[in-house]
Structure 1
Amino acid sequence: MAVRVTQNMLNRNMLRNLYNSMGNMDKLQEQLSSGKKVSKPSDDPVIVTRGMFYRSSLIENDQFAKNTTEALNWLDATDQALDEVGNVYKRVQELVVASGNGTLSKDDLKMMAMEIAELKNHLGNIANQTVNGRYIFAGTDSTRPPYDTASGQFTNTNSSLIRLEISENTYVPININAQNVFNNPTGNNIFTLLDNIVTELNNGNAATAYSDQLKQQADFVLTERAALGARVNRLELVEDRLSKSEVSITGLMSKNEDADIAEVITQLKAQENVHRAALSAGARIIQPSLVDFLR
């Protein structure tokens, strides 16, 4: 059975098709001006969902990179401080060995004592080294100075490690157990040891008996620096991996969301031609009225 087609039906279909054509042109124009495939979730839920995942991954990767940078700053500062500590021990050891020279007078020994006392003060300053306002040798109690300048002693007993997450569920300590350096349980407190050396020299006696204890303290520092160096190497590898991951995630996000400008321009041009053809066909569909013959 044939369907009767009226003029109103032709007009409505023509207008609907024109609106669809204009909608397609608007969508392509939006892609061209924004450079993105979609402008709202309803355009393509799959692309939007993937885009949210890539953005979350990028934010997460960026935070891990910041944590790694902070960790490296802490470890670099710690390594420099331990290097200074080693230099102090080296100089004290030189003075202690030199004090065994029988030709030295009591005044000479007292001068040595004065220098070692100053070296002790400098060691205290190193023990109170800070990064971003936090004491790096104070364990998790990083808001209070571990070395008490009034008593001249390392009073901190906190040996806990501060850990930062450098990748998912992977944590790395950014500080060392400063007790092993300044208050090692298997040896004397370094500041007490220096006080004993100063007292011995001020009494006009050689301090060579403390040489082995100083060497032991130096070994403690070397052990911590070795562990520190291994941790720095690991973090540098992590930093490089995170940098590459950022490039990779950014590329995937761009591939997922960014419009192919050349392709969009081609499609827009084709859609313009289609729209003009539709307008031309629509002009022929509209039925002439009596007014057209009354001119």
Structure 2
Amino acid sequence: MRVTQGMLANNSLRHLSSSYDRMGNLQDQLSTGKKITKPSDDPVIAMKGMQYRTGLTEVEQYKRNLSEAYQWMENSEGGIEHATQVFQRARELFLQAKNGTNSDEDLKAIGAEIGQLKEDLASVVNTQVAGRYIFNGDATNKPPATVNPDGTVTFAPNTNQVKIAISNGVQLEVNTNPLKAFGGEVSGDNLFATFKSIEDAINNADMSNSDELLGKMDQHFDTLNAERAVLGARYNRLELIDDRIGQQEVTANRVLSDNEDADIERVITELKMQESVHRAALSVSSRIIQPTLMDFLR
């Protein structure tokens, strides 16, 4: 086969163009830190990257859901803790009122404080977080308790569960049963009705049924503590899932990095080698490609 000067020139230009292309790919990897800049560079890496990014996005969403779950539970725990303190103060005052040495003025003062504690408890029941009533089940746009002009409190909470997806296939109840969280019902009376009965008995200086009312208070307190224990158990589970999601996030980031991130040390080494090869190719091509007829006559 006859090899012409045109063939040599064309082949040299083709190889130089390929060399430029390899150098360009290496420079793209060095500047972006990624193995590929477009799917056509390596379809397998691109496809795996989409799968890994989907998994990482799911993990990140679960972490946001975990934050919301913590917000619900921690605020619920704070509300129940405050209710416990109110309850203990009310019981202390009631025991003081049972003392037969109190004057009418003493009883009225105790009754007034019991009334204030009852209204404070209503404000705790109506706790809002980010504009939502956390002690009213899934009816978060409505307050569960209303203080009436006559001093009574209407307490008719929604007891539906509020669940949040915190892991793949796992939904955790993040709210508490508001009725149980605030003492449940004893003999048909909720905690507010019992408080009102205690307040009336003290104000009227009629302590004939004080033992019955005290027994009701203790039952309300037991129900409150039981619900608080349930909340604590769910909070512990939430922390365990949080740890597992954190480990999944680390793993997902590592796998994604292994799939897409370029080995910078290797890229720099290969780029330097390619630059040396390219300079050598340019030098050789300059000798092979003769630009004028005079070069042949030398």
Q: Same fold (TM over 0.5)?
A: yes
* 2:267 is the alignment partner of 1:269: no
Matching residue of 1:5: 3
Query: Following superposition of structure 1 onto structure 2, how do residues 125-136 of structure 1 map, counting pairs within 5 Å?
Result: 125-136=123-134
- 1:133 deviation in Å? 1.1
Bigger CA drift: 148-157 or 213-222? 148-157
User: How many Å separate the matches in 2 of 1:277 and 1:271?
Assistant: 10
Q: Which residue pairs with 1:189 in the alignment?
A: 190
**Residue number among 114, 120, 124 corresponding to 2:112 in the alignment:** 114
- Count of residues in Structure 1 that have an aligned counterpart in Structure 2: 293
Alignment-derived partner of residue 162 in structure 1? 162
Deviation, structure 1 residue 287: 4.1
Is contact 1:96–1:210 with CA below 8 Å preserved after alignment?
Answer: no
Q: Which residue of 1 aligns with 2:138?
A: 140
1:93-128 Cα offsets, whole Å, 9 max, x none, are: 122222221212222222111110010010001000
Mapped partners of 2:159, 2:296: distance in 1: 102
Instruction: Give the Cα separation in 2 of the matches to 1:285 and 1:293.
Output: 11
CA distance in 2 between partners of 1:13 and 1:116 (Å): 99
Identity of aligned residues (%): 43
Amino acid at match of 2:160: S
2:82 corresponds, among 81, 84, 92, to: 84
What corresponds to 1:172 in structure 2? 172
CA shift digits 1:130-176 (9 cap, x unpaired): 11111111110011111112364243341101110000111001101
1:33 aligns with 2:31: yes
In structure 1, list runs of 5 or more residues that go unmatched.
none
d(CA) in 2 for partners of 1:77 and 1:288?
A: 84
* Contact 1:137-1:175 at 8 Å conserved across structures: yes
Q: Give the Cα–Cα distance (whole angstroms) in 2 for the partners of residues 258 and 55 of structure 1.
A: 13
Please point out which of 127, 142, 148 is paired with 1:150.
148
Contact 1:99 1:208 in 2 (8 A): no
Separation in 1, partners of 2:26, 2:280: 18
Structure 2: unaligned runs, 5 residues or longer: none
> Match of 2:171, SS?
strand
| 1:238 equivalent in alignment to 2:241 | yes
- C-alpha distance in structure 2 between counterparts of 1:279 and 1:149, whole Å: 90
Runs of 4+ in structure 1 displaced over 4 angstroms?
Answer: none
TM-score by length of 2: 0.93
Partners of 2:34 and 2:142 in 1: how far apart? Answer: 52
The aligned runs of 1:57-76 (5 Å cut-off) are: 57-76=55-74
8 Å CA contact retained: 1:109, 1:205: no
Structure-1 separation of matches of 2:64 and 2:227: 25
Whichever residue aligns with residue 156 of structure 2, its letter is N
Q: More relative contact order in 1 or in 2 (CA 8 Å, sep 6+)? A: 1
Q: Which segment drifts farther, 57-66 or 199-208?
A: 199-208
Shift, 1:236, TM fit: 1.0
Match of 1:253 in 2: 256
Letter in 2 for 1:63: Q
Partner of 1:229: 232
Aligned to 2:20: 22
